[in-house]
Amino acid sequence: MLAEVPFYWRQSLIDGIYTAFATPLRSGAGNRERFVGTTPALSLTWRATRHVSITALYSHFENGVFFQQAPPDRDVNYVGVSMTWF
């Protein structure tokens, strides 16, 4: 089992927030806030056989002040299950 709580901040006040593909998600124009949000997460891994493991993950993105000033500011839940063969 793994538990983590990463915090996300903007390094530069003149930059925005981007997706994993470098597409702009929110502009930073006029927003002086640095705190983007936090993502508490919990994952559980089960070694089913010698060659197979199954992992379940739950995370919750909680908006920080940056997103509260750049709506929509919805929190997001993510649930995933994966199987690894090795």
Total number of residues shown for the chain: 86
For the chain, the structural domain boundaries read: 2-85
- Enter the tokens of residue 21: 């593909």
CA 41 – CA 3 distance, rounded (Å): 6
Give, in order, the Cα–Cα distances in Å from 84 to each of 54, 67, 78: 6, 35, 19
Span 24-78, pLDDT tens digits: 989 998 899 999 999 999 999 999 999 999 999 999 999 999 998 888 888 999 9
pTM score:
0.79
pLDDT of residue 70: 83
